[in-house]
């Protein structure tokens, strides 16, 4: 990283500094990464007023202007991808290999938004399927519900912000982005690239607001759409606070894997062990779809358990700036202390630690547990750390019931070669996505992504978020010679 420097906010088309400065520090060693500031009440008002004031101009933007702006951001991110990755690693602590992957995904998100914007041309429907509607045709266009308040989390500080900003630009909706206070710099860098485009001043603002002071922003009637990614209690508090708004919630999970008895060859088991180990630990476990629970058929359990433990133990932990590091720190020491406590609670209740289990500062060892009580926090809650729980099952039905025995329902991975089992999983599992032959952590950024139960409401994925941010407006043409 370069020498730490000030990062201003983009508010109503101007670069501004707020009255209360704060320093972003590296989760691994506490070193300073950069300084920025919290917006004053007047600056927050300026951002919201600008979004409200520009909404008609934004909606009227020709599609080619929106698409070219999105492509410009995509190209500039691609040009600066190494710098962007280093910044993600510095403020978030994820290893450089994963930060590069996140930066690359954001490049694609803006490109896909541009492609979807160019196809955003409405729908024509003949109405004369009924005799009473002879000569009538409907033209249906989607228009923005209004300016969007986007609240993004710390675990993917660039890509999850992109998933909110890009579809808003694509549909012509102004957006006020509030990044996580722990990781605001990636969003502020993105704001630099947005400001290079021909989008109207004030269409995009990026502001820092402390989480405990965000309720006024949430309540502002000029921001009728809220897109939030983060913890369940905060998300549901937002939903309760503003029942009249359109609220999209991407919340937590405790993602499960099922390994069926037909997934039995040595190559199968090696693949499953590698994917399970990698995606339980790839963001130090700080992913809503990171592997947490693994249900293995009894006939494969001992063999696959040993392969998983060996693979997890071999993952390189340490300084995330090292290109070889696979498992970095969690976001701060407070989070690491909580994860360690949950492990100790499970062990005190009879669980066995097969590898890992220790903490050093903000770093938690990649950990595998078995013989865990069904009501342990590491099973029932979202641990958001590098902890994996293995459990035996005697049938697919038992495994699927265990997966569904959760407050969460985001994604599940099912390792099977049986097509009927795949379709049964898709039918019966109470989740937003089922990944066959791989871990549940797979996400293509253009596909619909989201969960059920306490994993949230609404969907991300470019076209699906664009639909969430808009409504259908119908024009009926009468007296046509069809």
Please list the active-site residues. 250, 288
Neighbours of 153 (CB within 10 A): 21
- Nearest partner of 113 among 51, 175, 34, judged by Cα: 175
DSSP 244: T
- Sign of the Cα torsion 410, 411, 412, 417 reads positive
**In which element (H, E) is residue 186 found?**
helix 185-195
- Distance separating alpha carbons of residues 247 and 145, to the nearest angstrom: 11
Are 424 and 396 a contacting pair, CB within 8 Å? Answer: yes
Contacts of 399 by beta carbon, 8 Å cutoff, 6+ apart: 258, 260, 295, 297, 393
Classify residue 343 as exposed, middle or buried by CB count within 10 Å of its CB (0-12, 13-18, 19+).
Answer: buried
SS3 358: coil
Contacts of 160 by beta carbon, 8 Å cutoff, 6+ apart: 152, 153, 229, 250
Are 174 and 203 a contacting pair, CB within 8 Å? Answer: yes
- Nearest partner of 368 among 290, 287, 303, 310, judged by Cα: 310
- Sign of the Cα torsion 413, 418, 419, 421 reads negative
SS3 218: helix
DSSP 297: E
Distances (CA, A) of 113 to 147, 221, 222, 321, 460: 17, 27, 24, 31, 12
Are 283 and 383 a contacting pair, CB within 8 Å? Answer: no
SS3 57: helix
Are 451 and 409 a contacting pair, CB within 8 Å? Answer: yes
Check residue 93 and give left, alpha or beta (phi > 0: left; psi -120 to 50: alpha). Answer: left
- Sign of the Cα torsion 74, 80, 81, 84 reads negative
Residues in the chain: 482
Are 444 and 112 a contacting pair, CB within 8 Å? Answer: no
- Nearest partner of 435 among 279, 252, 230, judged by Cα: 279
């Amino acid at each position: 990283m370069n020498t730490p420097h000030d990062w201003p906010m983009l508010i109503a088309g101007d670069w501004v500094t707020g009255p209360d400065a704060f320093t972003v520090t590296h989760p691994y060693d506490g070193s300073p990464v950069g300084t920025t500031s919290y917006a004053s009440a007047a600056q927050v008002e300026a951002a919201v007023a600008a979004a409200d004031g520009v909404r008609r101009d934004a909606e009227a933007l020709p599609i080619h202007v929106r698409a070219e702006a999105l492509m410009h951001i995509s190209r500039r991110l691609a040009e600066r991808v190494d710098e962007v990755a280093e910044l993600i690693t510095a403020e978030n602590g994820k290893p450089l290999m994963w930060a590069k992957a996140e930066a690359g995904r954001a490049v694609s998100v803006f490109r896909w938004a541009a492609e979807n914007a160019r196809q955003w041309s409405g729908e024509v429907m003949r109405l004369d399927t009924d005799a009473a509607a002879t000569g009538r045709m409907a033209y249906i266009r989607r228009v923005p519900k209004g300016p969007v308040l986007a609240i993004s989390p710390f675990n993917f500080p660039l890509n999850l912000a992109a998933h909110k900003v890009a579809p808003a630009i694509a549909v012509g909706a102004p957006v006020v982005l509030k990044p996580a206070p722990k990781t605001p710099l990636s969003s502020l860098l993105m704001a630099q690239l947005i400001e290079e485009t021909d989008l109207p001043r004030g269409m995009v603002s990026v502001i820092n607001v402390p989480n405990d002071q965000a309720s006024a922003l949430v309540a502002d009637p000029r921001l009728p759409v809220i897109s939030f990614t983060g913890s369940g209690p905060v998300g549901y508090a937002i939903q309760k606070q503003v029942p009249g708004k359109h609220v999209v919630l991407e919340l937590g999970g405790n993602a499960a894997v099922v390994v069926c008895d037909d997934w039995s060859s040595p190559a199968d088991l090696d693949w499953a062990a590698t994917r399970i180990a990698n995606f339980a630990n790839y963001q130090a476990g700080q992913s809503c779809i990171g592997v947490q629970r693994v249900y293995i058929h009894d006939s494969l359990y001992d063999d696959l358990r040993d392969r998983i433990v060996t693979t997890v133990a071999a993952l390189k932990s340490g300084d995330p700036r090292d290109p070889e590091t696979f498992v970095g720190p969690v976001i701060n020491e407070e989070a690491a202390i909580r994860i360690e406590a949950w492990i100790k609670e499970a062990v005190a209740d009879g669980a066995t630690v097969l590898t890992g289990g220790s903490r050093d500062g903000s770093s938690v060892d990649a950990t595998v547990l078995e013989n865990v009580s069904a009501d342990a926090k590491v099973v029932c809650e979202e641990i958001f750390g590098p902890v994996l729980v293995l459990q035996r099952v005697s049938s697919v039905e038992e495994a699927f019931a265990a997966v569904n025995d959760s407050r969460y329902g985001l994604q599940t991975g099912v390792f099977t070669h049986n097509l009927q089992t795949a379709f049964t999983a898709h039918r019966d599992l109470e989740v937003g996505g089922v990944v066959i032959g791989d871990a549940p952590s797979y996400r293509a950024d253009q596909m619909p992504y989201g969960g059920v139960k306490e994993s949230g409401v609404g969907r991300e994925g470019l076209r699906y978020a664009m639909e969430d941010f808009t409504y259908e407006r119908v024009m009926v043409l009468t007296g046509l010679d069809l």
